[in-house]
Structure 1
């Protein structure tokens, strides 16, 4: 159990390196990642997108898989996309809000 929590913590940190293709903000700071669980080397990422019609879904999921498979103890990555609760700008981290502000994007 403690090992699973350690792997999950490392996975959260690793996903801070996976950028949203539209804005150079991590998928974590965008608030797209709802949860990460690890069991017997299988990491399940529960996530959403900013819109149902997001053109970058496969790209983002591929980047997530590629990055997480680099972590020790991760043998497989499953991605569970959910739409409830829906993504809103309230999910943006303070860092993401600041970055968007510098680009002139409203994040209210």
Structure 2
């Protein structure tokens, strides 16, 4: 899973992808932060996007950079979107998965009626 120091996770827990802001799901809970490293006051943050077509990517990158640069021991931050890994729902925190309630693939639900009855309880 992600290589994120606790201080960075705490700092980024108030940064939201605009699509999930109203649900209170941060970029950390979405699993968009792949890594945060600091070397001699220079931070490097790697982010994944849920979609390459995200119209809010620039805003999220700017906010992540600003939050990281506010942290003690960080003079500057570089935020980069990485494309060598695809974001999947497996990266969601348990709370984010519950809030977003992604449905399983149809092949994973052999008895649709039982699944629906169970979920409606």
**Pairwise TM-score range, normalised by the shorter structure:** 0.7 to 0.9
The normalised TM-score by structure 2 is 0.74
The structure where helix makes up a greater share of residues is 2
List structure 1 runs of 4+ shifted beyond 6 angstroms.
Answer: none
Secondary structure of the corresponding residue to residue 18 of structure 1? coil
Equivalent-residue separation in structure 1 for 2:49 and 2:79 (angstroms): 12
Looking at CA atoms only, which structure, 1 or 2, has the larger radius of gyration? Answer: 2
Unaligned runs of 5+ in 2: 105-121
Cα distance, 1:9 vs structure 2: 2.8
**Per the alignment, in what secondary structure is the counterpart of residue 66 of structure 1?**
helix
What residue in structure 2 maps to residue 77 of structure 1? 77
Residue 33 (structure 2) aligns with: 33
Corresponding pairs, count: 97
- Offset from partner CA, 1:77-105 (integer Å, 9 cap, x none): 1112112210011111101112223xxxx
Name the residue aligned to 1:23.
20
Q: What stretches of structure 1 of length at least 5 have no aligned partner? A: 1-7
Root-mean-square deviation (Å): 1.3
State the distance in 2 between where 1:68 and 1:99 align: 26
Taking structure 1 as the reference length, the TM-score comes to 0.82
> Secondary structure of the residue that 2:38 maps to in structure 1?
strand
Deviation digits for residues 41-84 of structure 1 (CA, Å, limit 9, x no counterpart):
11100111001111011100111011112111111011121122
* Larger RCO (alpha carbons 8 Å, 6+ apart): 1
